[in-house]
Chain A
């Protein structure tokens, strides 16, 4: 009935279509001293996928060998191998641009292989928006080193000193005699460099060559279209969800219906007549069904009768009671406690004392495509096809979990739905591997919608209490910030003792990770301040769907919401313009290594200018036209993340009758140093902002004391087409005090722009209405209640 096509065949076919004459696999097979033991094939759409018939063991590619990073082919093209992944932010294109520039080869003569554990050096996969900021440097350095080595070879070959050689587009010529010419391919195509690199760790990897000064970079700075997009729109891309292997079967999980329930028994007769049933697998509280076909597994998982014993204690308070619970909970751990000056006396002496409390609920990743993975136990090895951004960690974690050598495990990284941090892609990878190990055949797992929304990791809920003191001139003289995060037992990536399957099986680390609670990242000069950040725990620590994990800047949106809202409240009491109030605070005399103070001022000014910001205090004195329920306002949120500075201005329209909020216009000043691909950067920043807008307007995990109630797109709404602003402007700023400096760094992007959105929207709502919203999401019922409470 169903014809099963092997992935290798699909890829071989695609390769033949793409280019019948060359094959990386053949190259690698035929070239003698190979560092890479696998083939790499190109598939339509330019996505390159590592694929091998190798049966292991899978040794780690050696990052201290140039050949691990760069291969020059006989047709004078090149392949780059990097240990990163690209969730669709265009980092793959950016990496390729950086390496092309240093190697001096045209972009369209190269391709890039990412994140497959037996093919690419372990750069840790992705996370933290640090791909360009940190991992781009070893990529640039190794490409520069390859260029240096090639120039040396050319010098010998042409018998011309290196100083008289010029290189362009992978062709080296003599300065003086254009007839003296040699290509990279002629020098080394199809052969290995055999050049060792140095570096204590992969981030420090370097050759002898220096990277180019900014003024010599040509490919960097171009808005080259992303190579991965065509195959994503014509349907040709092979995603991790698409891989099919001979003998592959389908699994679905059966989760405890009540959080904290214990499995008593399974009535297997309840699925005995399910067509295609292969096995019901259970261990501890982990239960799954495995069937021949996908729809059979879905039905069987629904049909399976499991007797669960309800927990004796509620696992958590209901979401409506969460913040009261958090405020009165015993502190589980302290994360930060910093005092500058004498905040108590300064607050006492202040002319105006302002206090406010803020709350942010749990918010989830809720990927558009539920978590999935395919694991293949053929040949006594374990190959996992996954979109997990930390493929290397998944490999190590699975090896540990299954008790096998890591050389027996490899992870083939493929595209998948968005992964902004520690998602359930980790959990699904372990589940597929466990089931494949149990059954001895390839098993594909995908979570269902309710599972994804309820059980995926969450960004921690927060409560905040802030106090500020202004002097007679409206200057901020003292500030007190106290945060509490419900982040106890924050999950790391791919840990064999904390992934969901381990927790449900009863496997525990010796103690839970204490999690994090964070103070704001600011450059404001405040003479007297106290900043504390504590962590509280919910009653149930293990096997709970309220598991926290990194979600696109794990604490930034929450903390920036509270802090930048409070700064706005202070500005309003001081009757100061919100931009000017912040600029006046950016007066600290100690500048940091990243020059953030100077760059913050430049970025704030650029955003205000592009917006056409009118200097005045909030709220907006304009009143709506008679009879119209609509009022508008503008709000600012400023932040930085690592080296990147963001100033976001939102213009909102509030319907005072319904409470509906529409963010009409967004202007974002953004300084991330040297920009690799301006269009790609703008798109990623834009999407990061809109993701923040979704968290500002819609997202909240709701639960009662027994289970999560947010289980689909109705009970857990997300931003939609109708919410989208009329205009979004990304203003790229280079606010470096020496903007032309030859070593201008490239900082990260993506997470930074996600941080200030909730604050900017709240501040704009205040400007429009005079009503201060101190808890997202700003759904219309909450906005309306706040408007009514004011009048």
Chain B
């Protein structure tokens, strides 16, 4: 076991792990984050995607000890209680069905827009190609990204429920 230091969502964490442990399990089980999830463990589906120094990384295949940059997870996308415009667009377009893949969709889109704030429809399709959804919410995902690109999103504070607190 080795002490590994990770910088995640603005905070620094030390974990004592086998250095070969894929980052995904450290994020989920040691840091108790819930955004990145296990989908394939093979780098094929994107469900485990996080952002390291602005770029999308698949946390299921990268050893935790090899990540030295600033990690952002889905939980870290909102700032000062304001949802990221992508998250707001996801709500506006009512994107998810089950939602299990949506971490991968949102984080992949975030990294895409980091690199190319004005992607064409084709660039959205190709940029998102590796993020799989088995509920087939792709059409709405693309619509949500286009909303953000067109600047048509007004971010709100994270909505906890439209129902009563009971």
Number of interface residues of A (CB under 8 A): 88
Q: Which residues of A contact B11 (CB under 8 A)?
A: none
A234 near B15 (CB under 8 angstroms)? Answer: no
Assembly CA distance A298 to B83 (angstroms): 35
Q: Which residues of A contact B159 (CB under 8 A)?
A: 230
A235 near B134 (CB under 8 angstroms)? Answer: no
A673 → chain B closest CB, angstroms:
22
Assembly CA distance A209 to B27 (angstroms): 52
Whether B153 sits at the interface, judged by CB under 8 Å, is: no
Q: Which residues of A contact B87 (CB under 8 A)?
A: 233-234
A234 near B40 (CB under 8 angstroms)? Answer: no
| Interface contact tally, CB-CB below 8 A | 244
Q: Which residues of B111-163 are within 8 A (CB) of A?
A: 124-126, 128-129, 131-142, 158-163
Whether B54 sits at the interface, judged by CB under 8 Å, is: no
A18 near B161 (CB under 8 angstroms)? Answer: yes
Assembly CA distance A96 to B129 (angstroms): 36
B48 → chain A closest CB, angstroms:
10
B165 near A22 (CB under 8 angstroms)? Answer: yes
Of all chain B residues, the one with the shortest Cβ separation from A47 is B161
Q: Which residues of A55-96 are within 8 A (CB) of B?
A: 73, 75, 77-79, 87-89, 96
Q: Which residues of B contact A295 (CB under 8 A)?
A: 18, 21-22, 25
Q: Which residues of A contact B39 (CB under 8 A)?
A: 368-370, 449
B97 near A235 (CB under 8 angstroms)? Answer: no
B29 near A230 (CB under 8 angstroms)? Answer: no
A24 near B166 (CB under 8 angstroms)? Answer: yes
Whether B49 sits at the interface, judged by CB under 8 Å, is: no
Cβ proximity bits B37-49 to A, threshold 8 Å, 1 near / 0 not: 1111110110100
Whether B101 sits at the interface, judged by CB under 8 Å, is: yes
B42 near A449 (CB under 8 angstroms)? Answer: yes
Q: Which residues of A contact B21 (CB under 8 A)?
A: 293, 295
B33 → chain A closest CB, angstroms:
7
Cβ proximity bits A278-320 to B, threshold 8 Å, 1 near / 0 not: 0000000000000001111010000000000000000000000
Q: Which residues of A contact B28 (CB under 8 A)?
A: 242, 294
Q: Which residues of A contact B35 (CB under 8 A)?
A: 235
Q: Which residues of A720-753 are within 8 A (CB) of B?
A: 720-725, 728
A96 near B163 (CB under 8 angstroms)? Answer: yes
B96 → chain A closest CB, angstroms:
5
Assembly CA distance A370 to B134 (angstroms): 12
Q: Which residues of B82-109 are within 8 A (CB) of A?
A: 83, 87, 90-91, 94-103, 106
Assembly CA distance A453 to B158 (angstroms): 35
A46 near B125 (CB under 8 angstroms)? Answer: no
Partner of A241, one of B38, B75, B134, B139: B38
B103 → chain A closest CB, angstroms:
7
Q: Known: A108-B163, A370-B38. Contact between A418 and B44, CB under 8 A?
A: no
Assembly CA distance A19 to B160 (angstroms): 11
Q: Which residues of A contact B137 (CB under 8 A)?
A: 683, 687
Q: Which residues of B contact A226 (CB under 8 A)?
A: 94
Of all chain B residues, the one with the shortest Cβ separation from A19 is B165
Whether B30 sits at the interface, judged by CB under 8 Å, is: yes
Stretch at the interface among A153-161, A374-382, A461-469, A710-718: A710-718
Q: Which residues of B contact A419 (CB under 8 A)?
A: 98
B126 near A110 (CB under 8 angstroms)? Answer: no
B134 near A229 (CB under 8 angstroms)? Answer: no
Partner of B34, one of A235, A416, A448: A235
A446 near B98 (CB under 8 angstroms)? Answer: no
A446 near B16 (CB under 8 angstroms)? Answer: no
Assembly CA distance A454 to B95 (angstroms): 29
B136 near A690 (CB under 8 angstroms)? Answer: yes
B25 near A294 (CB under 8 angstroms)? Answer: yes
Whether A193 sits at the interface, judged by CB under 8 Å, is: no
Q: Which residues of A contact B138 (CB under 8 A)?
A: 690, 719-721, 723-724
A235 near B73 (CB under 8 angstroms)? Answer: yes
Q: Which residues of A contact B131 (CB under 8 A)?
A: 721
A1 near B30 (CB under 8 angstroms)? Answer: yes
Partner of B166, one of A19, A224, A367, A684: A19
A366 near B161 (CB under 8 angstroms)? Answer: no
Q: Which residues of B contact A724 (CB under 8 A)?
A: 125, 138-139, 142
Partner of B75, one of A89, A110, A235, A239: A235
B97 near A418 (CB under 8 angstroms)? Answer: yes
A722 near B126 (CB under 8 angstroms)? Answer: yes
Whether A527 sits at the interface, judged by CB under 8 Å, is: no
Assembly CA distance A268 to B101 (angstroms): 36
B100 near A368 (CB under 8 angstroms)? Answer: yes
Q: Which residues of B contact A19 (CB under 8 A)?
A: 165-166
Of all chain A residues, the one with the shortest Cβ separation from B141 is A721
B162 near A107 (CB under 8 angstroms)? Answer: yes
Whether A616 sits at the interface, judged by CB under 8 Å, is: no
Assembly CA distance A242 to B131 (angstroms): 21
Cβ proximity bits B54-97 to A, threshold 8 Å, 1 near / 0 not: 00000000000000000001110110000100010011001111
B129 near A721 (CB under 8 angstroms)? Answer: yes
A229 near B161 (CB under 8 angstroms)? Answer: no
B166 near A22 (CB under 8 angstroms)? Answer: yes
Assembly CA distance A718 to B138 (angstroms): 12
Partner of A225, one of B22, B106, B160, B162: B162
Partner of A233, one of B44, B96, B132, B135: B96
B98 near A109 (CB under 8 angstroms)? Answer: no
Whether A680 sits at the interface, judged by CB under 8 Å, is: yes
Assembly CA distance A428 to B38 (angstroms): 15
Assembly CA distance A18 to B165 (angstroms): 6
Partner of A229, one of B25, B95, B124: B95
B129 near A415 (CB under 8 angstroms)? Answer: no
Whether A111 sits at the interface, judged by CB under 8 Å, is: yes
Assembly CA distance A568 to B29 (angstroms): 54
Q: Known: A42-B161, A77-B166, A109-B164. Contact between A87 and B37, CB under 8 A?
A: no
A232 near B38 (CB under 8 angstroms)? Answer: no
Cβ proximity bits A392-434 to B, threshold 8 Å, 1 near / 0 not: 0000000000000000000000011111000000000000000
Assembly CA distance A684 to B132 (angstroms): 18
B63 → chain A closest CB, angstroms:
10
Q: Which residues of B contact A691 (CB under 8 A)?
A: 134-136
Of all chain A residues, the one with the shortest Cβ separation from B75 is A235
**A to B CB contacts below 8 Å, 25 in the list:** A2-B30, A45-B160, A75-B164, A75-B166, A107-B163, A227-B161, A232-B102, A293-B29, A294-B25, A294-B29, A295-B25, A368-B47, A370-B38, A415-B100, A416-B98, A687-B97, A691-B135, A713-B45, A719-B136, A721-B128, A721-B131, A721-B138, A722-B125, A723-B138, A724-B138
Excluding A233-B99, A368-B100, 16 further A-B contacts by CB distance (< 8 Å) are: A5-B32, A79-B166, A88-B98, A232-B99, A233-B90, A237-B99, A241-B37, A275-B18, A369-B38, A417-B101, A449-B44, A690-B139, A720-B129, A720-B132, A721-B129, A721-B131
Q: Which residues of A contact B (CB under 8 A)?
A: 1-3, 5, 18-19, 22, 24, 42, 44-46, 73, 75, 77-79, 87-89, 96, 107-112, 224-239, 241-242, 244, 275, 293-296, 298, 366-370, 415-419, 446, 448-449, 679-680, 683-684, 686-688, 690-691, 693-694, 712-714, 718-725, 728
Return the 3 tightest CB-CB contacts between A and B, nearest first: A46-B161, A19-B165, A232-B99
